[in-house]
A and B are shown apart, each in its own frame.
Chain A
Amino acid sequence: MKTNLASRIADTIIRYRLMVVLVFLAILAVAATGIPRFKIAASADTLLAKDNQLYIQSQLAQQTFSPDEFILVAYEPTHHEVFSEQTFDDLERLSEAFKAIERVEAVTSIINVPLVNDAADLTGNTQVDQLTWEFQRYTPETMRSLVSGHPIFTDLLINSQNTATAIQIVFKDNPELVKIERKITALKAEFMGKDLPDSAQEQLDALAKQADPIRLALTEKRKQEIAQINHITSAVAERANVYLGGPYVVGQHLIDIITSDLVVFGIAIVLVIALLLAVLYRRFRWVIFPLSACVVSVGITLGVLGWLDVRATVISANFVALQIILTLAVMIHMISSYRAIARDKPQSHQHERVKAMLHAKLAPCFFAALTTSVGFAALLFSGLAPVISFGTMMLLATSISLLVSVIGFPAGLACLKANSDGKEWGVFSTLLNRAAGVSLNKPGWVLFVSAGLLIVLSVGILRLNVENSFINYFADDTRVHQELAYIDKEFGGTTALDIIIDIQQPPSDASLLLSANSVNQLQLAQAAVKAFEATGSVTSLVNFTELAKQLNNNKPLTEYELSAIYYLLDKKVVNQLVGAYFSEDAQQLRMAVRIKDTTEGLDREQFMTQLRQDMQAVSLSEQHYQLTGLFVLYQDILARLFDSQITTLGLVYVALGLVFLVIFRSVKFALIALVPNVLTTLAILGMIGWLGIPLDIMTITIAAITMGIAVDDTLHFVHSYRASAAQGTEAATRNAFSDSGMAILITTSLIAIGFSLFAWSDFLPSVYFGLLTAIAMLLALLADMTLLPALLNLLPGKHNQNINANVQEGAHHAK
């Protein structure tokens, strides 16, 4: 950027300072009306590319088998037996209360399911639907013998140790939403693997718009329902532990805790950063300006995103934190520069100071924003919807932050009077001086140590893995964790995994429903699935044939008997009974599995691999079954995200190198500037690997975040270095350290301390996110304060002279 351009911009900003401030406030006011429209979309489809086949398959399977939405309420008596009158009374009372909740379709527990274990019970004129505790008032001992080890109710209504029982609350579908979702899936399925024509896309958008308010209302409703259920169960709290579980409860807890984290830690971080700013600068305005810049930047960005209806996903929700970091960085570079000018020329007029500040910092700040933007723009090529939206958001956020900090802030500053400004803290200056000295005197040694350290850290990348345990997101000692973990362990797991099997061997007689071979194929597959420690409840048609076998003196049904039962039952009843597990039209069988999220040392990727091998072992080949459901979807998303993060990193490096080349107009400088960035991003990934922290959806963007931070530091440092390169290596180094180094050090301290507050969160992804961001800041600081100057100083003289000449030329222009 030409320096006279910078001067003209500076003059314009100062001249129209009031207007600029008013314009920004006006923009903020307009944008603020869009903030309520801003939404975080938490559903799985936001994480997927539009034509993700796995997702469409899952949706199709969902429609074929339409399983119920339910919540499990576990009841663990503290002082009495599970099979006791007290339990039955409590279950009865709780069930009555649950039934009164509006959206509840049915409430099932051991007291209202019909129980038979002897075929003789069924002869004569017994009404089977009255073989329930409610009708028969069975004794506790009879109940124990009837319920314990039941092939369908174990892990669902009774745990296998018989220490707790559960009530299953089944909710009604929203018919309108089901209809819309069917249309959406049909459209997507039609164009699966092809390009979506515009007309279809328009239809999809229109449908999504219809579905939206219904989904929102449903989320709100679910929240109320969970509160109602908790209120109802408090009545038995003194004699039993009550736990709530099921996928919807996990989802609700996630939303709750993320929201409360945002509020609590958002405020705490702002307060701590304000405090640190106050301590570091001891000036009121240096607290107000940076914080206002953050508020204005984030406010405008949220508003714009709200108006454009771009939704944050679980992944891109981090953009707020990142934008605050970037805004603070620019602000502190500007402030540091201003303060240096104020100290050098205490008599100068405020406008002169602002102008000088802009003169010195407009270019590097612009370039820093540019490189950061390029880094994020590379994410647009990742091919993954959530990553692309994250990239887009960051592009927008970076631009807005830049405008606010380099135009809005100086305008605001120009409105104030010149103040005397204090010195920077001695500790910082000493530290920076030492660092400068070391990198001047022993550049080779510094290079060796810091590069060595970063490389050793980077090796940890090989140990990186992704895991996705929803329950382990919550800290062990929280009530939420205990509740979810209890249900997970005792009542058949949490995360759904569906195995959809195509029927390959049609029966020999067309009158038959299924061939014995097909059912036995399912039996084999189910046995293989159940053998895994991590699988909780596993339900399919063979649970029913197992019950039939028990009732039939332990002899299996014949295929004719199975078909006869199917035909004898009312079609509607059949659909309710086995519709979730068998589709006659689609000729598919479904095995519904819940994975125990709390399984010790569960490696989900390995689990999937072994599961596929085992399906092969029971002679189910790849093309004859599909794995779907939340478990598979998240596993797939994670794997893709992980791959894309790693592959886009390469792309980001290349893009950055090119931008550096344009900015520095020197291959050497471009390469040198690239080194700390590459090493920092690799080192943070490696560090995560060494620490054994599994990457998940919340923390997987850490590499991109680190890059954003490191690039900023590098650019400012190199820019300062080159500004005084004409005066020789030593002067250049010292100037870089005192000018940019101070700002980098302050920014790092602020952010690192502020974000470490997340360590107190009960939500582990927040903890990791906060700590990893802090570590990323420190690593970037390390790389840019040691490796970078060492590399710059190790440059051969010839190149140095060339660059000096360049810079002198630049300096000449400036004059």
Chain B
Amino acid sequence: MAHHDHELVRLSADALAQKLASSEISAVEATQAHLDRIAAVDGEVHAFLHTAPDLSLATAAAIDQRRAAGESLHPLAGVPIAIKDVIVTNDMPTTSGSRILEGWIPPYDATVMTKLRAAGLVPIGKTNMDEFAMGSSTEHSAYGPTHNPWDLERIPGGSGGGSAAAVASFEAPLALGSDTGGSIRQPAHVTGTVGVKPTYGGVSRYGAIALASSLDQIGPVSRTVLDSALLHDVIGGHDPRDSTSLTDEWPSMADAVRRADVKGLRIGVISQLDGQGFQTGVLERFREALDVLAAAGAEIVDVSLPSLEYAIAAYYLIMPAEASSNLAKFDSVRFGLRVNPPGGGTVEDVMSATREVGFGAEAKRRIILGTYALSAGYYDAYYGSAQKVRTLVQRDFEAAFGQADVLVSPTAPTTAFKLGQNTGDPMAMYLNDIATIPANLAGIPGISVPVGLAREDGLPVGIQFLAPARHDARLYNVGGALERMLEDSWGHTLISLAPDLAPGEMTAAQEGAV
């Protein structure tokens, strides 16, 4: 073989796709290389909850056959992709990180899966996540945490830590995530990868197990901005099965990256997210990135989101309220776990016993909090007020976008913290999401792009750009331009600095080639 696994898995999705299109490598080879990589490193990383090698290889073989028959295929056909376990798949178990769905194989595919399969991408496994996407560290997964490939004792972010760690450790070039308050963007920040939360309604959520329906959004996860754009172009667009799906015609996100240019772009720095409470090394890399953008002709202006201090409070009322309602469907009747209490009981007794055993601590905490926020006598003070704060946050963004084309902040206040550091203090965990939550409240799109390593701990830092609703392409423009300029100045990608998780692997591959 001319190509070693070790090299194949380090290719971007775009580069891999070109080699597939020219038949330089086969989809089976590409898939096998990533399965081998998973076998080599996932014991330590634990990005995956489930893989199905035979199934993935059969999917890949079918792509190779179609290509050999001369069929015209989608540019990404044959490229492996990891799927966050919140997304239902009709051929692999789907648990959403919860015991209550252990072993459940859904009877249908999410629309994003239908689109991926139609484009010929190869689903390679289901990735770990905080239970029902409730968390910022994957420590709330019922199946144990995922470890950050940059430092295995640290969190990979959450809730989509599995998808971010999978691309960061070269187990897959692409992954799907879901973002309710930052679950795509914050994991990208702490793993030195790229993650995009599209405009609310821009990507179908049919078949995404709902956490908070007015906030949830599926989006791409990758190592490069172009790869996220290519995936966005596959999964985006209207879906009649999702009543919140937008009917807009979307421009090509990949074209926005390829034509990236920030000359004359007005970039608004969110003053509330540029100082207090942020780690020094995070702010240093952030401000350096702003200098790079300014040098390329962008106009950097200051903007203010005065309601921001109330955004987290509003989020931690709206999200649990909607979650408590969405999770009522786990009733031990139609799918998932059933636990019969000792001595039997009514269907309600069985339901209560099942939910006690099936839900983890964080799910219970949020269900109880949401039930409280929605209960008679408290509804106006909590849920009603939180919805008004949502209006104020939207007005802040409207004013800010009057002064700037995109807004910018660090993606999260700190680099990856140690596993176990915040598990005893729910409020401390919730504050990680200060920079990412506002976009979900307002329905606007956001991207996190790596900008370097923090001086004090050598861990990745991400920058977040936000755009007005429906202007996702602006994120790919500014993100693509910044990535190119930073990599030109470094002379390499950031992810190439990540520690080698399987140092023996290259030797083995070389020996195998003899």
The answer to whether A and B come from one shared complex is no
